[in-house]
């Protein structure tokens, strides 16, 4: 029994003394009277105020997507019920159906007050925030606790101390944990930040102090770029996190990115579960992760783990968390941040340690001790995770939309798929583009890599363009095969060129459409003295395809490349193809005419050019006007999509003849923005 007063209990629990005193008056905390004063037994209240232990029976996930299905599996295994929070636009989604109950939410997934109200109305005993922005929001954690529910996460006070990058850097320096040269002070004028960047020495990286996930991060190469970069970073930070404060750090070139998984309970227990290597990144977003890191030996692992635990303990951390570091070639490491939540890539740690991290989170929230010492943690084999995104790698990784028509997930020994979509799901750009995680485990790294390549070959999704083709390329990248990937490997090596549609896809699409047409008209495509033909359009290309004399026999000889056919009243039948992750639509095309030939010839010889939106988004700035002369690659306007600013540039030197949009206007992918001549 450990008896403490309300003030010490408040510090330990991450709330105010007044809140603890109110809970005592309401009888929500176990207490004993010692010499006229009320004392609390921390061993009985565990990590969660208002709870006296016992199994959490109803757990609501304040998130969406694959994590809901993941948490639901663990809840069922422990005898708890998982509640999915579902907005109207997500009703009927595959992931929502994986939970035990659906809780309607007539607000967004970042509206903490409405989420708490919905959870209370549903009788939830606890809230698991997942790994969205709310997961590291101490105010939301306090709202959950104030409502009498368990918060499956660290105490709010620890979140404030570690969730803010400036505060975390300062704490690390106090404890002697290495950090990069940088600036994390409170003075945030442009003049001061520009001066600090010059003092640190270029290149530098700008980071939102309050944020995570790579949002708002910008690398600045020299002083001529700093003012514009500061403006962009501040706007993105304010839009995403409601806080425009920035941290500046020296940009370290060619490092590895490693992170240490932590578990701490409310009884003083603390262990680390080894490290993950997350070096394969694009725009500061992780793409492939593995455990353990090919660059970390037992001695370095112990040093990293000791530094991570020291930070977490000093901040009063309880629960699962991840300390992130940059690692240099000579073994020197630099603390970046501590993510006060479960990480997207947690499955690779689960596979090499044999632990269920969600079960660990729930147990800690129930006030249980970890029941394990550091010496008992052993890493077995090797695990790799690849993130399947709804994005187009051949068009600058722009987010895409569509409807999932069909999908195939990989199977086999050591293969795990954490999926977030199913057939019929509509994919938009309102939410994170993560669709699934493909995770493999092997006895060693070569076996795990072989299984990853096999899993990626098996994966197919029709109706939405994904990055699976890019992941296949990445898995075969020599840097990655050697275990020598760095944070700039993708930027250095990915140079996609135009991809032609192979002949077999034209044949498969034509046969699918022909079968649909023959069901309506047995003579479709018939020609006198020749095999049946169809004229097919895929993208901007058209071809006349001979179908052969026996359509059914020919179709049986072709691989399953196509989903469909489908049909709409206005556009007729179509077939959906998956070409290495690219979603293509095949339709019947009209026979060529003099008019269409003339139009194509005019397009190929130049003339007026239309600059279109490469992604759906909102126009936040227009930099040109009609009549302006512009140079190739000059910025014409800025589109905001997924909380990030994306410049739209001129394709060539020329004159702006018309600007077709205005600031504040929402546009869809392919919308005309500017006409040039």
Between 41 and 73, where is the model more confident?
73
Among residues 554, 588, 622, which one ends one of the domains? 588
267 and 293 share one domain:
yes
222 and 270 share one domain:
no
Is residue 107 included in any domain, yes or no? no
Is residue 62 included in any domain, yes or no? no
DSSP string, 485-500: --TTHHHHH------P
- 5-18 confidence digits (pLDDT tens): 887 777 666 566 77
| CA-based nearest residue to 572, from 623, 534, 613, 616 | 534
363 and 393 share one domain:
yes
356 and 268 share one domain:
yes
Is residue 487 included in any domain, yes or no? yes
Is residue 511 included in any domain, yes or no? yes
3-state secondary structure of 116: helix
Q: Has residue 594 got a pLDDT over 70? A: no
232 and 335 share one domain:
no
Q: Has residue 477 got a pLDDT over 50? A: yes
Mean residue pLDDT across the chain: 88
Report the CATH number at residue 197: 3.30.1490.20
Buried b (16+ CB within 10 A) or exposed e, 623-661: ebeeebebeeeeebbbbbbbbbbbebebeeebebeebeb
Is residue 90 included in any domain, yes or no? no
Report the CATH number at residue 661: 2.40.50.100
| Positive/negative CA dihedral, 312, 315, 316, 318 | negative
- 243-258 confidence digits (pLDDT tens): 999 999 999 999 999 9
318 and 459 share one domain:
yes
Among residues 230, 250, 270, which one ends one of the domains? 250
Q: Has residue 528 got a pLDDT over 60? A: no
Is residue 70 included in any domain, yes or no? no
The pLDDT of residue 52: 46
566 and 520 share one domain:
yes
Kindly report which listed range (135-149, 211-225, 473-487) carries the lowest average pLDDT score. 211-225
The total domain count for the chain is 5
234 and 262 share one domain:
no
Report the CATH number at residue 452: 3.30.470.20
Mean pLDDT for the stretch of residues 220-247: 91
509 and 563 share one domain:
yes
pTM of this structure: 0.83
Among residues 191, 219, 250, which one ends one of the domains? 250
| CA-based nearest residue to 388, from 449, 290, 465, 332 | 465
581 and 612 share one domain:
no
540 and 508 share one domain:
yes
Give the integer Cα–Cα distance in Å for 368 and 547: 67
- 392-445 confidence digits (pLDDT tens): 998 888 888 899 999 999 999 999 999 999 999 999 888 889 999 999 999 999
The pLDDT of residue 154: 95
Residues paired with residue 41 on neighbouring β-strands, in sequence order: 3
551 and 514 share one domain:
yes
Is residue 175 included in any domain, yes or no? no
The pLDDT of residue 597: 46
Domain span at residue 1 reads: 1-45
Between 556 and 483, where is the model more confident?
483
- 121-134 confidence digits (pLDDT tens): 999 999 999 988 79
Is residue 575 included in any domain, yes or no? yes
């Amino acid at each position: 029994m450990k008896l403490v007063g309300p003030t010490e209990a408040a510090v330990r629990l991450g709330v105010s003394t007044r809140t603890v005193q109110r809970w005592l008056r309401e009888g929500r905390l176990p207490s004993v009277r010692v010499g006229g004063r009320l004392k609390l037994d921390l061993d009985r209240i565990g990590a969660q105020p208002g709870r006296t232990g016992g199994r959490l029976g109803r757990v609501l996930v304040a998130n969406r997507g694959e994590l809901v299905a993941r948490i639901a599996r663990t809840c069922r295994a422990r005898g708890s019920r998982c509640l999915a929070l579902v907005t109207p636009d997500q009703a009927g989604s595959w992931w929502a159906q994986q939970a035990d109950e659906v809780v309607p939410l007539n607000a967004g997934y970042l509206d903490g007050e409405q989420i708490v109200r919905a959870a209370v109305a549903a009788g939830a005993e606890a809230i698991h925030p997942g790994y969205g922005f709310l997961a590291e929001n101490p105010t939301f954690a306090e709202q959950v606790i104030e409502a009498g529910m368990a918060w499956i996460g660290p105490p709010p006070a620890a979140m404030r101390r570690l969730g803010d990058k400036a505060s975390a850097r300062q704490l690390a320096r106090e404890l002697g944990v290495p950090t990069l040269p940088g600036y994390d002070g409170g003075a945030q004028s442009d003049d001061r930040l520009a001066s600090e960047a010059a003092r640190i020495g270029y290149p530098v990286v700008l980071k939102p102090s309050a944020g995570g996930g790579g949002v708002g991060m910008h690398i600045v190469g020299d002083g001529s770029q700093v003012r514009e970069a500061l403006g962009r970073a501040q706007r993105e930070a304010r839009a995403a996190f409601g806080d425009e404060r920035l941290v500046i750090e020296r940009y370290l070139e060619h490092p590895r990115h490693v992170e240490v998984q932590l578990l701490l309970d409310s009884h003083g227990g603390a262990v680390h579960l080894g490290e993950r290597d997350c070096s394969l990144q694009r725009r500061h977003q992780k793409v492939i992760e593995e455990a353990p890191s090919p660059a970390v030996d037992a001695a370095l692992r112990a040093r990293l783990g000791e530094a991570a635990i020291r930070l977490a303990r000093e901040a009063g951390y309880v629960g699962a968390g991840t300390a992130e570091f940059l690692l240099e070639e000579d073994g020197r490491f630099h603390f970046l941040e501590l993510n006060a939540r479960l990480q997207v890539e947690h499955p690779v740690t689960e596979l090499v340690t044999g632990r269920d991290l969600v079960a660990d989170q729930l147990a800690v929230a129930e006030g249980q001790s970890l029941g394990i010492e550091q010496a008992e943690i052993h890493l077995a084999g090797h695990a790799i995770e690849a993130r399947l995104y709804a994005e187009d790698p051949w068009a600058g990784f722009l987010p895409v939309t569509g409807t999932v028509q069909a999908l195939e997930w990989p199977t086999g020994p050591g293969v795990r798929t954490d999926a977030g979509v199913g057939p019929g799901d509509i994919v938009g750009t309102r939410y994170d583009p993560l669709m699934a995680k493909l995770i493999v485990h092997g006895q060693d790294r070569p076996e795990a890599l072989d299984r990853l390549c096999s899993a990626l070959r098996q994966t197919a999704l029709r109706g939405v363009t994904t990055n699976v083709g890019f992941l296949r390329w990445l898995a075969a990248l020599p840097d990655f095969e050697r275990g020598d990937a760095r944070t700039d490997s993708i930027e250095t090596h990915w140079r996609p060129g135009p991809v032609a549609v192979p002949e077999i896809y034209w044949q498969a699409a034509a046969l699918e459409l022909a079968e649909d047409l023959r069901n309506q008209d047995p003579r479709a495509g018939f020609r006198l003295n020749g095999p049946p033909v169809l004229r097919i359009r895929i993208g901007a290309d058209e071809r006349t395809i001979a179908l052969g004399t026996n359509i059914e026999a020919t179709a049986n000889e072709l691989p399953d490349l196509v989903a469909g056919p489908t049909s709409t009243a206005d556009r007729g039948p179509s077939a959906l193809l998956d070409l290495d992750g690219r979603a293509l639509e095949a339709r019947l095309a009209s026979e060529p005419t003099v008019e269409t030939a003339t139009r194509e010839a005019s397009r190929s010889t130049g003339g007026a050019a239309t600059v279109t939106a490469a992604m759906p988004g909102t126009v936040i700035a227009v930099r040109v006007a009609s009549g302006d002369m512009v140079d190739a690659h000059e910025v014409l306007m800025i589109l905001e999509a997924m909380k990030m600013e994306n410049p739209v540039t001129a394709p060539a030197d020329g004159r702006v003849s018309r600007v077709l949009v205005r600031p504040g206007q929402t546009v869809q992918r392919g919308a005309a923005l500017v006409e040039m001549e």
